[in-house]
Structure 1
Amino acid sequence: MPDTEQGETRRRGRNETEEERADRMWQELIQEVRVAQMGVQILFGFLLTVVFTPKYDDLSHTNQMIYIVTVVLGACATGALIGPVSLHRLVSGRRVKPQAVRWASRLTLLGLVLLLATTCASLLLILRVASDDSFVPYLVAGVVLWYLLWWFGLPMWARHRYTTR
């Protein structure tokens, strides 16, 4: 049951108002986004240079299509992970921080999924070019499972295991 102090509703646990909670969650989210943004921007920047190398013309049509899909995924991941900054800037001062935090959180999760896809597509392309591709799909599938386990499986398990109802 919420406590009432000076007309504000406070939640049990951290004893914070909805606005205080939104402020705290925004700060936590921005720290998380900074880490993901750095990774996606470095990867995307590298991907943008590949097409200008002499090796690109030697790629098979399939590998060129994988490259194009990878670049588009990287662009989408970059947009989704930078989106929370733009969202915050455009709604700042409008008294919608709790809603902005929810939308920014969704954009960040989408960005992480797109970053996963970009990373795995990059790995697929690199391994197809660098080695005998008979084992590459299995290796990439293993890496996808590895990412899914640590990026989503463990957090969802912890959320289920330790969240009180």
Structure 2
Amino acid sequence: MIDDDVDTTSDDGRDETPNERSDRNWSELMQEFRVLQTGTQIMAGFLLTLPFQQRFAELGPFDHVLYLCLVIFAVLVTLLALAPVMLHRILFGERAKAQLVHAASAILILCLIAASLLFVGIVLFVFDFVVSPTAGIWAGGAVAVLVLLLWTVGPRLLRNARDRAAHASPTTNASKT
């Protein structure tokens, strides 16, 4: 007998209700946000201390603008990372978990994009100031290439590995994450 509350439309081998799936996905998203918040909070703290350093006055106009852009990205990532918590608190008890999961997933992608730009900018900023503007461009460009590879090649490799495993063992369902 099949329970009507169990999600049988998924092919990932899990017997869970839509509410259980939403709860699991919400927990996974919150853990991903925790990881993101730690790194970006450290970067934001680093950025906020810079104007109080003596050598900050040595920065040229480009570096001042770049610095302010980095502060804006750090604040953007921090606020975006707090948004799902705020949404959850406001909508708590209104049976909107599936919608919260969907919104939090989209917000997390935006956070990761903004954090990627933040890290590229920080490397550009530091190398520009410590070594030279040319070194800053090269170092920032290298990090940008790494980010693009992680966002494009990494998922492609994982999908290919999943597909190869599925073809090698067609009776085993690969877990969706």
TM range (shorter): 0.7 to 0.9
Deviation at 1:106, TM superposition (A): 0.8
1:45 match: 45
Q: Deviations over 1:57-102 (max 9, x none)?
A: 1110111000000100111011111212112111121101011001
Q: Deviations over 1:136-157 (max 9, x none)?
A: 3122111111122224531254
Moved more, 13-22 or 143-152: 143-152
CA change 1:81–1:157 in 2 (3 A) is farther
Whether 1:8 aligns to 2:12 is no
Contact 1:4–1:10 (CA under 8 A) maintained in structure 2? no
Matched residues in 1 for 2:70 and 2:22: separation?
Answer: 34
1:124 match: 124
Identity %: 31
1:24 match: 24
Deviation at 1:162, TM superposition (A): 2.8
SS of structure 2 residue aligned to 1:14? coil
Moved more, 70-79 or 149-158: 149-158
TM-score (normalised: structure 1): 0.88
Contact 2:73–2:118 (CA under 8 A) maintained in structure 1? yes
| Structure 1 gap ranges (5+) | none
CA change 1:91–1:153 in 2 (3 A) is farther
TM-score (normalised: structure 2): 0.82
CA change 1:74–1:151 in 2 (3 A) is same
| Structure 2 gap ranges (5+) | 167-177
2:143 match: 143
Matched residues in 1 for 2:157 and 2:81: separation?
Answer: 24
